[in-house]
């Protein structure tokens, strides 16, 4: 069975923090040695820093920092890069079709005899970010400047909040909550409030329409999202991501016959819920069939029209973070999370290193789902506001209720007692 690369993020960060505190202590003692009158207070400070309570608090802060760097600096940039490469290939863009090295998904180029450039293009998004950092943060004269400043921070903050509870493996997580899935969905649905605030406070007609669209859409896709999770709870009995994944980490058994399929939730009565979840999560991610608040065809840039500089960079870039979180949620709920064979474990000293750890299996699912969503959103037009409300209220919610009924009936018929 599977094994994580990081058995415990807290443990790893505790050791790391211990080293950092030890270095700080040595510096403090050295200063005390040089300046004898403050030797005692410095020793007291060093001892206080190294005390278990303080060390734990600092460890938590370090954990949050590590998870933010992991999610934003590594996975966000990778996801943006994957998106660029995927849709460029779909659109038959010139650069990607003639370059050998810039093809992460398909190693063969039509013209490998004459590659024009040999970059991977990975740092392009970093360069875009640096450009946005240098730009001036403009606040429109007629805007409600406090709300206008709060909104991007609100959206970025709530999106990062998802990663507080989203585990990447059975060890790599910040906090393991009993109601983790509920927390993630709750944190997810806070962002539309920020969009509404941003749309209203900028005092611009385009942003206003975009913000109100976001508020109108919210119910249409949040309710089915929660409802299918309720359907899932009928069969799993838990909202703890660790429990959910552990349940799926075995072979699927039908009438006592063990099948070669894994016991993922998608195989079984939850398939309807899976489809509904996939549709609703696209709206949650603000991707193209449902990206109405930011409909760049009719609303210039929707609710982000008046944002500039890194404010825009944050809300724009964090869309991919929401995509990662959404894909992670789908794989935890329906696709077996991080379960997968390790194949082989080798040891460095006493530390076991799995050759394909859980993190890799989880990221594989995230990026494959990411590619699916990228291809989907670049191959269909955007729907209209009344159409998404129709889809949400008249299709998704009834079918989500049906999914609950099916799950309940399944539970009664096959899993009694």
Partner 1 sequence: MPEFWINMGPQHPMTHGLWNMKVKVDGETITDARPEIGYLHRGVEKISEVREFQKVIVLTDRLCYVSSITWSHAYCLAVEKMMGVEVPERGQYLRVISLELQRIASHLMWLAAYGPDLGLLTVLLWSLRERELFLDLIQLLSGARMNQNYPRIGGVRNDMPENFEAMCKRSIEHFLEKLDHDYEKMLHESKIFHMRTQGVGKISAADAVNWGVTGPNLRACGVNVDVRRLDPYEVYEELDFEVQTWKGPDAGDSYSRFICRFNEMRESCKIVLEALAKMPKEGAYRTKPPRRGEGEGYARTEDSRGEALFYVCGDGDDRPYRVKIRSPIFCTMAATPIMLRGNKLADSVAILGSIDVCVGEIDK
**Applying CB under 8 A, which residues contact partner 1?**
87, 90-93, 205-206, 209, 213, 288-289, 291-292, 295-298, 300, 378-387
- CA angle (231 as vertex; 387, 330 as ends), nearest 5: 70
CB of 342 to partner 1, least distance (A): 39
**Cβ of residue 108: shortest distance to partner 1, in angstroms?**
20
Rounded CA separation 247/252 (Å): 10
- Residue 12 or residue 376: which is nearer to partner 1 going by CB? 376
Residues 6+ away with beta carbon under 8 Å from 138: 306, 308, 309
Q: Which two tokens stand for residue 339?
A: 């379960």
Nearer Cβ to partner 1 (178/298): 298
Report the candidate in 392, 402, 373, 390 with the shortest Cα–Cα distance to residue 218. 392
Whole-angstrom Cα distance, residue 294 to residue 155? 14
Q: Which residue's CB is nearer to partner 1, number 295 or number 363? A: 295
In the bound state with partner 1, the residue whose beta carbon lies nearer, of 260 and 381, is 381
Q: What is the Cα–Cα distance from 132 to 148, expressed in whole angstroms? A: 18
8 A C-beta contact, residue 252 and residue 267? yes
Nearer to partner 1, 353 or 379 (CB): 379
Q: Which helix (H) or strand (E) holds 21?
A: helix 9-34
**Which C-beta is closer to partner 1: that of 105 or that of 146?**
105
Helix (H) or strand (E) holding 60: helix 52-68
Q: Which is nearer to partner 1, 300 or 364 (CB)?
A: 300
Rounded Cα distance, 166 and 169, in Å: 9
Cα–Cα distance for residue pair 238/247, rounded to 1 Å: 10
Answer for the pair 74, 122: CB distance below 8 angstroms, yes or no: no
Give the integer Cα–Cα distance in Å for 409 and 411. Answer: 5
Q: Residue 213 or 322: which CB sits closer to partner 1?
A: 213
| Closer of 234 and 320 to partner 1 (Cβ) | 320
For the record, the structure tokens of 266 come out as 């998608």
Q: Give the separation between CA 172 and CA 177, rounded to whole angstroms.
A: 13
CB of 93 to partner 1, least distance (A): 6
Which class for 219: exposed (0-12), middle (13-18), buried (19 or more C-beta within 10 A)? middle
Where do we find the tokens 């007629």? Answer: 142
Name the minimum Å distance from CB 400 to partner 1: 20
Distance CA 381, CA 394 (A): 21
Report the alpha-carbon distance of residue 115 to residue 253 in Å, rounded.
51
User: How many other C-beta atoms are found inside a 10 Å radius of the C-beta of residue 145?
Assistant: 12
Smallest gap, in angstroms, from Cβ of residue 189 to partner 1? 22
Crossing angle between the packed helical segments 52-68 and 145-165, to the nearest 10 degrees: 100
Comparing CB distances to partner 1, the nearer of 9 and 292 is: 292
Min CB(334)–partner 1 separation in Å: 24
């Amino acid at each position: 069975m599977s094994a994580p690369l990081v058995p415990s993020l807290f443990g790893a960060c505790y050791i790391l923090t211990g080293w950092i505190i030890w270095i700080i202590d040595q510096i403090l003692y050295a200063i005390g040695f040089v300046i004898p009158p403050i030797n005692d207070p410095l020793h007291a400070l060093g001892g206080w820093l190294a005390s278990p309570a303080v060390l734990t608090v600092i460890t938590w802060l370090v954990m949050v920092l590590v998870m933010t760097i992991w999610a934003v600096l590594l996975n966000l940039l990778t996801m943006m890069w994957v998106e660029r490469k995927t849709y460029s290939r779909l659109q038959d863009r010139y650069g990607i079709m003639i370059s050998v090295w810039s093809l992460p998904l398909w190693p063969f180029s039509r013209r490998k005899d004459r590659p024009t450039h040999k970059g991977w293009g990975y740092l392009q998004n970093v360069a875009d970010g640096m450009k946005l950092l240098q730009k001036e943060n403009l606040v429109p004269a007629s805007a409600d400047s406090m709300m206008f400043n709060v909104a991007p921070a609100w959206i970025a903050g709530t999106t990062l909040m998802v990663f507080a509870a989203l585990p990447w493996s059975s060890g790599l997580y910040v906090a393991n909550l009993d109601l983790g899935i509920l927390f993630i969905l709750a944190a997810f649905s806070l962002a539309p409030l920020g969009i509404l605030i941003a749309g209203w406070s900028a005092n611009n007609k385009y942003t206003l329409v975009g913000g109100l669209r976001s508020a109108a859409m919210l119910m249409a896709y949040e309710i089915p999202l929660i409802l299918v999770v309720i359907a899932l709870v009928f069969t799993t009995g838990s909202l703890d991501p660790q429990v959910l994944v552990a349940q799926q980490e075995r072979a699927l058994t039908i009438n006592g016959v063990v099948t070669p399929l894994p016991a993922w939730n998608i195989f079984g009565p939850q398939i309807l819920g899976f489809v509904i979840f996939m549709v609703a999560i696209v709206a949650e991610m603000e991707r193209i069939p449902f990206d109405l608040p930011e409909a760049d065809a009719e609303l210039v840039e929707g609710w982000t029209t008046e944002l500039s500089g890194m404010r825009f960079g944050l809300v724009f870039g964090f869309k991919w973070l929401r995509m990662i979180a959404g894909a992670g949620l789908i794989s935890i709920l329906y696709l077996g999370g991080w379960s997968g064979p390790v194949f082989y474990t080798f040891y460095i000293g006493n530390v076991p290193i799995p050759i394909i750890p859980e993190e890799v299996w989880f990221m594989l699912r995230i990026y494959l789902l990411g590619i699916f969503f990228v291809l989907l959103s670049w191959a269909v037009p955007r729907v209209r506001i009344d159409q998404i409300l129709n889809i949400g209220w008249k299709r998704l919610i009834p079918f989500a209720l049906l999914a609950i009924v099916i799950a309940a009936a399944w539970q009664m018929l096959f899993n009694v007692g």
